């Protein structure tokens, strides 16, 4: 019998470097990974946290292996990324946290101050304003400060966690808003996909793809705990945070979400927001 010390040791395998978006709506995708609740074959996941635009640049530079990137970043990349199937951050109807705020009449909007931390939301807004309202305003870069944005321009595009406190405010006669998720559904009848896991073809094994899908499912069962944890860090309403995750964000990239993503890419190409309609390439699953 061969003595144990003469056997070849298992080769060291670096963990998968996972670039995670730091918003509340991404937490159900990563909570089980961060707590090591989802285990199985394959490499460990090493999580780092970014805003969407930084996640995109980190992935392109090769400093992370897989990133939770905006849909528009996938379409604009020269690198032929692949997508983790069955996992997305999307909505079917009101999304709450991607909104155009404005004062006065919508038809009078000539300029939009845009929080550019997600180019997908900017592209979506351009499409909606042109297709639904016949508007083509000038877009200006701005920090995500609503009052300052509305002093700078006729309207303000605000996304992500900064919008959540505004949802609870009483409606004001001099400040109105459009929910871009609801406007997209009204225009197309489709779900909308804001972001998904993507990376280079060889960066994930099928068993690791399965664990990312399993992490999504585990996170969907933890909305209440995630909301409590988020509230302990940011204050605000735990009930709102849980309702937001449960009722407004969809995490399963099923056939309806894929159809919505394809429609978004088609319209984005029609409006010269992207150069061409990208092929949707998915990682293989282990099952």
Q: Per-residue pLDDT averaged across 29-44, rounded?
A: 83
Beta bridge partners, 178, equal 100
Residue 92 has pLDDT above 50, yes or no: yes
Q: Per-residue pLDDT averaged across 59-71, rounded?
A: 96
CA dist list (Å): 28 to 21, 58, 155, 219, 254? 11, 22, 31, 4, 17
Confidence of residue 7 (pLDDT cuts 50, 70, 90): very low
**How many CB atoms are located within 10 Å of the residue 35 CB?**
13
Q: For the ranges 49-63, 90-104, 160-174, 204-218, which has the lowest average pLDDT?
A: 160-174
Q: For the ranges 34-43, 70-79, 263-272, which has the lowest average pLDDT?
A: 34-43
- How confident is the prediction for the chain on average, in pLDDT? 91
pLDDT number for residue 142: 94
pLDDT number for residue 4: 47
Residue 12 has pLDDT above 70, yes or no: no
Confidence of residue 235 (pLDDT cuts 50, 70, 90): confident
- Residue 262, CB-side half-sphere exposure with 13 Å CA sphere: 10
pLDDT number for residue 36: 75
User: Which pTM does this prediction carry?
Assistant: 0.91
pLDDT in tens, 168-200: 664 444 578 999 999 999 999 999 999 999 999
Residue 33 has pLDDT above 70, yes or no: yes
pLDDT number for residue 174: 59
E runs forming strands in the chain: 16-21, 45-50, 66-70, 82-83, 89-91, 98-102, 111-114, 138-141, 155-159, 176-179, 192-199
């Amino acid at each position: 019998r061969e003595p144990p010390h003469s056997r070849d040791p298992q080769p060291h395998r670096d963990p998968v470097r996972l670039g995670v978006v730091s918003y509340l709506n991404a937490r159900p995708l990563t909570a089980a990974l961060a707590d090591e609740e989802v285990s199985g074959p394959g490499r460990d996941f090493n999580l780092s946290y970014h805003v969407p635009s930084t996640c995109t640049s980190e992935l392109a530079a090769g400093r992370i292996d897989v990133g939770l990137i905006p849909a528009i970043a996938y379409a604009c990349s020269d690198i032929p990324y692949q997508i983790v199937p069955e996992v997305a951050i999307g909505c079917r109807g009101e999304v709450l946290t991607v909104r155009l705020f404005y004062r006065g009449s919508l038809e009078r909007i000539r300029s939009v101050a845009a929080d550019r931390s997600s180019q997908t939301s900017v592209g979506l807004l351009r499409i909606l304003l042109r297709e639904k309202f016949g508007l083509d305003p000038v877009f200006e870069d701005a920090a995500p400060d609503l009052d300052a944005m509305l002093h700078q321009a006729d309207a303000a595009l605000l996304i992500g966690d900064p919008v959540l406190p505004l949802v609870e405010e009483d409606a004001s006669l001099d400040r109105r808003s459009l929910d871009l998720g609801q406007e997209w559904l009204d225009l197309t009848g489709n779900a909308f996909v804001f972001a998904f896991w993507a990376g280079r073809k060889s960066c994930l094994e099928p068993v690791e793809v399965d664990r990312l899908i399993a992490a999504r499912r585990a996170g969907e069962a933890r909305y209440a705990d995630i909301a409590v944890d988020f509230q302990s860090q940011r204050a605000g309403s735990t009930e709102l945070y849980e309702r937001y995750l449960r009722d407004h964000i969809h995490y399963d990239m099923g056939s309806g979400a894929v159809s919505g993503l394809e429609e978004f890419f088609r319209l984005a190409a029609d409006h010269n927001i992207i150069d061409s309609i990208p092929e949707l390439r998915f990682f293989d699953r282990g099952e």
